[in-house]
């Protein structure tokens, strides 16, 4: 054991010196490899940066070349030609098939008179003071050596929503479910084309009408109706609390005139019925007289009935003929 120890130590010293020589030999090679790695990282980063710039430009071009545009009344819109302008020999814009602008000037089309401007550099068309009637399809046709693809842009002009929606409805207690059935209606006072949605907590529903089951533990619950179109929106809210003692909440407007009219009609009918009954039962003697005369029409003995009224009673007296009078005497 002791014999081999110096040998092993000597071998370790020799191996260490060899490693140092190798490191000195391969040091320039390792430096070159590091430089190559740095260059790779640099070129990779540059390529990614260039790709990002190109992607941004593409996105910008896509954004500027939207084929469906939503604007509100009174806005200004710029319609992009979406094609390179170099070498263009002919270019024109049309609206619903009618030419409204060409490469050299705008056409005095009645609908857009004084509201069009054509950019001679990129051939973009600007339309000012938009109206609802301006909604429609615009098309751009250009030529370099031959005619290029037609660019179509659909413009939709909308009215702005300026008033909150109206909320009406009711809440009815449902005994068999121990909950309230909430019925709400959302409406607008104009002819604006809008869409509706309801927000209850984190829940969203679509449509102008809402039916919702509300439970007592829910407490005060806020219902929000939002009316919207592509250019504007407005909201209105109401709070409903489910309570078994309250049969209706969020009550809508009541037509008081209709209610009063129904009550008056009912009172009039009752008055007429009472008046007829009073007339029929006021003098029952008259009814008896008519019945007696009908029953004795075929009798040979002529009888005359007269009715004398004394207070609330009636006295009937029979007047007989001469023969009956003598017999009676």
pLDDT per residue over 135-156, tens digit each?
Answer: 999 999 998 888 888 899 999 9
CATH number of the domain that residue 174 is part of: 2.60.40.10
Q: Is the pLDDT of residue 157 over 90?
A: yes
Residue 253 falls within a domain, yes or no? no
Q: Is the pLDDT of residue 186 over 90?
A: yes
Q: Domain boundary residue among 241, 267, 288?
A: 241
Selected residue with higher pLDDT from 190 and 153: 153
Is 175 in the same domain as 235?
Answer: yes
Q: Are 233 and 72 contacting, i.e. CB atoms less than 8 angstroms apart?
A: no
Instruction: Quote the number of domains for the chain.
Output: 4
Is 70 in the same domain as 152?
Answer: yes
The mean pLDDT of 307-321, rounded to a whole number, is 45
Specify the range with the lowest mean pLDDT, choosing from 15-29, 86-100, 119-133, 257-271: 15-29
Residue 11 falls within a domain, yes or no? no
Residue 249 falls within a domain, yes or no? no
Q: Of 59-63, 131-135, 274-278, give the range with the top mean pLDDT.
A: 131-135
Q: Domain boundary residue among 158, 176, 209?
A: 158
Structure tokens at 150: 């037609």
The mean pLDDT of 171-198, rounded to a whole number, is 91
Q: How confident is the model at residue 10 (pLDDT cuts 50, 70, 90)?
A: very low
pLDDT confidence of residue 194: 93
Is 147 in the same domain as 73?
Answer: yes
- In eight-state DSSP terms, residue 22 is H
Is 40 in the same domain as 78?
Answer: no
Is 172 in the same domain as 141?
Answer: no
Is 45 in the same domain as 79?
Answer: no
Q: What is the DSSP string of 108-156?
A: --GGGTT-EEE-TTT--EEE-S--GGG-EEEEEEEESSSB-PPEEEEEE
Is 179 in the same domain as 222?
Answer: yes
Residue 10 falls within a domain, yes or no? no
What is the sign of the dihedral through the CA atoms of 41, 42, 43 and 45?
Answer: positive
Residue 251 falls within a domain, yes or no? no
Residue 30 falls within a domain, yes or no? yes
Mean residue pLDDT across the chain: 75
pLDDT confidence of residue 66: 80
Cα 132 from Cα 191, distance rounded (Å): 13
pLDDT confidence of residue 225: 97
Q: How confident is the model at residue 296 (pLDDT cuts 50, 70, 90)?
A: low
- SS3 state of residue 177: coil
pLDDT confidence of residue 17: 52
Q: Domain boundary residue among 211, 241, 271?
A: 241
Q: Is the pLDDT of residue 51 over 90?
A: no
pLDDT confidence of residue 284: 57
pLDDT per residue over 93-150, tens digit each?
Answer: 999 989 999 887 777 678 898 899 999 889 999 999 999 999 999 999 998 888 888 8
Residue 281 falls within a domain, yes or no? yes
316 phi and psi, to 5 degrees? -105, 135
Is 40 in the same domain as 72?
Answer: no
Q: How far is CA 173 from CA 185, 222, 328, in A?
A: 18, 18, 84
Cα 49 from Cα 264, distance rounded (Å): 84
Cα 73 from Cα 58, distance rounded (Å): 30
Q: Is the pLDDT of residue 207 over 90?
A: yes
Is 135 in the same domain as 194?
Answer: no
Specify the range with the lowest mean pLDDT, choosing from 96-110, 175-189, 222-236, 241-255: 241-255
Is 52 in the same domain as 71?
Answer: no
Is 233 in the same domain as 304?
Answer: no
Q: Are 227 and 188 contacting, i.e. CB atoms less than 8 angstroms apart?
A: yes
Residue 42 falls within a domain, yes or no? yes
Its domain, for residue 31, covers 17-64
Give this prediction's pTM: 0.53
Is 114 in the same domain as 58?
Answer: no
Tally Cβ neighbours within 10 Å of residue 207: 12
Cα 61 from Cα 283, distance rounded (Å): 101
pLDDT confidence of residue 228: 96
Cα 12 from Cα 49, distance rounded (Å): 52
Q: How confident is the model at residue 252 (pLDDT cuts 50, 70, 90)?
A: very low
């Amino acid at each position: 054991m002791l014999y081999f120890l110096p040998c092993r130590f000597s071998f370790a010293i020799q191996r260490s010196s060899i490693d140092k020589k190798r490191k000195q030999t391969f040091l320039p090679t390792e430096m070159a490899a590091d430089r190559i790695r740095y260059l790779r990282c640099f070129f990779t980063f540059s390529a990614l940066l260039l790709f990002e710039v190109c992607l941004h430009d593409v996105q910008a071009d896509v954004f500027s070349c939207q084929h469906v545009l939503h604007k509100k009344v009174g806005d200004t819109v710029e319609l992009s030609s979406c094609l390179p302008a170099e070498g263009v020999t002919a270019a024109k814009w049309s609206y619903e098939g009618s030419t409204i602008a060409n490469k050299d000037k705008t056409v005095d089309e009645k609908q857009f008179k004084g509201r069009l401007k054509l950019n001679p550099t990129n051939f973009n068309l600007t339309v000012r003071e938009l109206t609802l009637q301006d909604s429609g399809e615009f098309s751009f046709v250009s030529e370099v050596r031959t005619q290029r693809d037609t660019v179509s842009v659909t413009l939709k002009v909308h009215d702005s929503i300026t008033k909150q929606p109206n909320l009406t409805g009711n809440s009815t207690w449902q005994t068999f479910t121990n909950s309230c059935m909430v019925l709400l209606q959302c409406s607008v006072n104009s002819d604006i084309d809008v869409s509706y949605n309801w927000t209850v907590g984190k829940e969203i529903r679509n449509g102008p009408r809402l039916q919702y089951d509300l439970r007592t533990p829910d407490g005060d619950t806020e219902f929000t109706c939002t009316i919207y179109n592509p250019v504007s929106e407005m909201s209105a809210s109401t709070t409903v609390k489910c309570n078994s003692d309250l049969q209706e909440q969020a009550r809508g407007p009541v037509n008081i005139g209709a209610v009063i009219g129904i009550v008056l009609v009912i009172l009039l009918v009752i008055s007429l019925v009472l008046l007829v009954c009073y007339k029929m039962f006021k003098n029952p003697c008259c009814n008896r007289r008519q019945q007696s005369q009908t029953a004795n029409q075929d009798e040979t003995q002529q009888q005359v009935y007269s009715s004398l009224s004394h207070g609330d009673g009636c006295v009937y007296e029979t007047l007989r003929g001469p023969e009956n009078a003598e017999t009676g005497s």
